[in-house]
A and B are shown apart, each in its own frame.
Chain A
Amino acid sequence: MPGAPFPGNQLKEYFRQTGEVWLFTVRFFREAIRRPFEWRELLHQCYTIGNKSLFLVGMTGFIMGLVLTLQTRPTMEEFGAVAYMPSMVGISIIREIGPVITALICAGKIGSSIGAELGSMKVTEQIAAMEVSGTNPFKFLVVTRILAATLMVPLLVIMSDTISLFGSFLVEHFKGEVSFRLFFNQIFRNLTFGDLIPATVKTFFFGFAIGLVGCFKGYYSREGTAGVGRAANSAVVIASMLLFVIDFIAVLVADIFYDL
């Protein structure tokens, strides 16, 4: 029943949704490994999610690197630690800021578009149409989108990291006359696999979460155009929240494995 008015009902609604998300996830994995695979749609979704987000992600990444460096520099200057700028910026971008900011941007762009697209497909009975023609809409719509998000978000993060490091380099270069080679030498000398690997692994989970939430909200959106809006909106909100939870878990797990 929509708009559950009592707290008890809200709690029940929460557990119902959680249960459904779980079933949805299980179904995803079952369908993902079962033939036939929707390769073409997967490629198409990869293109939509990856390439179409590239500009946005690159832009925010660039500004992120620029701003981070511009704002940190005076403080570091005060400590006489300007020489540590590249490694500091490098570590913070690669480990945390790059993945999280990029994932948030993706949650906004990809999550909402998946939520809205599937929501409107649901509302206009396109999903039902697929179902009654004996095809598997879950496989075609959900599995491909979740997989595409899982695969593309890490790549987007890599691009964003690179671009924001470049943005940071520009500031360092023009303010501190740091050469390209010195800048990147500094960054990579201070980075370890303990920084790169957990940061990359968690971006797969970020992508998965964005795709999953977007698909879930869209696939089960309620009838009507308002339902579509709600699906898109809650996809972004829940995905963003989930990203931080995953990030937190990732830090804990990385701590165990890499003994940082």
Chain B
Amino acid sequence: MFFNPYKIMAKKTRNTVQLGFFVTIAIILFMVAAYLIGSYESMFSSALRISSVFHNVSGLQAGNNVRYSGINVGIVESLVILDDTTVQVNMKLDKKLQPFIKKDAVASIGSDGLVGSMLVNINPGKGKSTAVENGDIIPSYSRVGTNELLNTLGKTNENIELITNDLLLITKQIIKGKGTIALLLQDSQLADGLRQSVANLQATSNYLSASGRQLENIIAQVDQGDGLLSQLLYDTTVIDNLNTSISQIDTVADQLEPFLLELQQSANDISASSATLRATLEALNAGEGPAGAMLRDTAAANNLRQTLENLNEGTARFSENMEALQHNFLFRRYFKKQAKEKEKAGQEP
């Protein structure tokens, strides 16, 4: 009863065990943290080092992430100013990615979300190329800034406005210019037959000359008296009508020539502007960060939407005109029909 050394010894031992437990846990936690950080940091121990040269790195820093097709694959190792306008970005990537990144892969600077840190995006190249090697310098794509983007779009807008004006003029000319064309435009029956029309304006102009020749043939055929039209020959009123029509066609053809040139011009304009537009859209696709920014920026978005609407409108009008034009070129068929109708009209009285 006097003394129980074991009680105290046992307590001491228990304390020491508890201490040991605590120390072990804490050290393990530290090791785990160190390991986890280390595994993210030295994931690239056998690293693939490539670099790319930019004019503007938009605040990129050493340690920023590098993404390939949106996956984090490495970090920016260092930034070296090469000369007054270019900066070389040295990247450290996971060695395992070497086979996937081709020599024509394109690096661009982006940002991780609206408020995120800057990063380097590597996008696969278009063509087939060999895999990159250590120390390669891959091409860079300088993403257009938001301002540039808006400038381009503004220019596109102006272009589209010009095109629309041209088209408007053309349509007015068509409507005012000749009764026949106006008539043609209103003739819905013709539409189906006329759909098999030439695809582009170049071909159309060829057609025009061809139809000129064919017109001659028609007249020749009429002269020879075969086909449907030959019957018309006996009807003098018809012939008169036909004569007038032919002369009308001549004038139409004459008038059509500048109009076609104009049309060609506007078509060129449109293709030019659509090229710009495509570039813009590509930039939009490629530049992830500012694109995101753009899309969230309502002002920019409205601008963009307006532009696209204008563009749509322009294209719609253009195709309208095209159709109208196509109608005009198949004179022969038209005249066949016209003749039939006139025949009917002649027979009626």
Q: Which positions in A face B, CB cutoff 8 Å?
A: 43-44, 46-47, 50-51, 54, 79-81, 83-84, 94, 155-156, 158-159, 162, 184, 188-189, 191-193, 195-196, 200
Partner among A83, A84, A159, A188 whose Cβ is within 8 Å of the Cβ of B40: A188
A131–chain B nearest beta-carbon distance, Å: 26
Partner among B18, B34, B114 whose Cβ is within 8 Å of the Cβ of A80: B114
Distance A83 CA – B114 CA, assembled complex (angstroms): 12
Chain A interface, DSSP helix/strand/loop, else mixed: helix
Distance A190 CA – B346 CA, assembled complex (angstroms): 90
Distance A246 CA – B28 CA, assembled complex (angstroms): 26
Does A51 contact B18, Cβ atoms closer than 8 Å? yes
Distance A54 CA – B26 CA, assembled complex (angstroms): 11
Does B29 contact A44, Cβ atoms closer than 8 Å? no
Known: A158-B29, A158-B30, A200-B30. A79 touches B115 (CB 8 A): yes
For B239, list chain A residues within 8 Å (CB): none
Does A50 contact B22, Cβ atoms closer than 8 Å? yes
Distance A94 CA – B34 CA, assembled complex (angstroms): 12
A93–chain B nearest beta-carbon distance, Å: 11
Q: Which residue of B lies closest to A259 (CB)?
A: B62
Counting CB contacts under 8 A, is B182 at the interface?
no
Q: Which residue of B lies closest to A94 (CB)?
A: B33
Distance A184 CA – B115 CA, assembled complex (angstroms): 21
Does A43 contact B26, Cβ atoms closer than 8 Å? no
A–B Cβ pairs within 8 angstroms, 14 of them: A44-B12, A50-B22, A51-B18, A81-B113, A81-B114, A83-B113, A94-B33, A159-B25, A188-B37, A188-B40, A191-B36, A193-B38, A193-B41, A196-B34
Counting CB contacts under 8 A, is B19 at the interface?
yes
Q: Which residue of A lies closest to B15 (CB)?
A: A47
Distance A40 CA – B22 CA, assembled complex (angstroms): 17
> C-beta contact mask, B2-25 vs A, less than 8 Å → 1, else 0?
000000000010011011001101
Size of B's binding interface in residues, CB under 8 A: 25
For B115, list chain A residues within 8 Å (CB): 79-81, 84
Distance A79 CA – B296 CA, assembled complex (angstroms): 13
For A83, list chain B residues within 8 Å (CB): 113
Does A155 contact B23, Cβ atoms closer than 8 Å? yes
For A191, list chain B residues within 8 Å (CB): 33, 36-37, 40
Does B23 contact A192, Cβ atoms closer than 8 Å? no
Counting CB contacts under 8 A, is B145 at the interface?
no
Does A155 contact B37, Cβ atoms closer than 8 Å? no
Does B15 contact A51, Cβ atoms closer than 8 Å? yes
Counting CB contacts under 8 A, is B135 at the interface?
no
For B29, list chain A residues within 8 Å (CB): 158-159, 162
A16–chain B nearest beta-carbon distance, Å: 38
For B301, list chain A residues within 8 Å (CB): none
Counting CB contacts under 8 A, is B63 at the interface?
yes
Counting chain B CB atoms within 10 Å of each CB, which of A54, A79, A184, A189 scores highest?
A: A189
Distance A81 CA – B116 CA, assembled complex (angstroms): 8
Known: A79-B114, A193-B37. 17 other contacts (CB 8 A): A43-B16, A46-B19, A47-B18, A50-B19, A50-B23, A54-B22, A80-B114, A80-B115, A84-B115, A84-B116, A94-B33, A184-B36, A188-B40, A189-B72, A191-B36, A192-B41, A196-B34
Known: A50-B19, A155-B22. A189 touches B27 (CB 8 A): no
A243–chain B nearest beta-carbon distance, Å: 20
Does B19 contact A51, Cβ atoms closer than 8 Å? yes
Q: Which residue of B lies closest to A165 (CB)?
A: B33
Known: A80-B114, A188-B33, A192-B63. A155 touches B27 (CB 8 A): yes
Q: Which residue of B lies closest to A200 (CB)?
A: B30
A207–chain B nearest beta-carbon distance, Å: 13
Partner among B12, B22, B33, B36 whose Cβ is within 8 Å of the Cβ of A51: B22
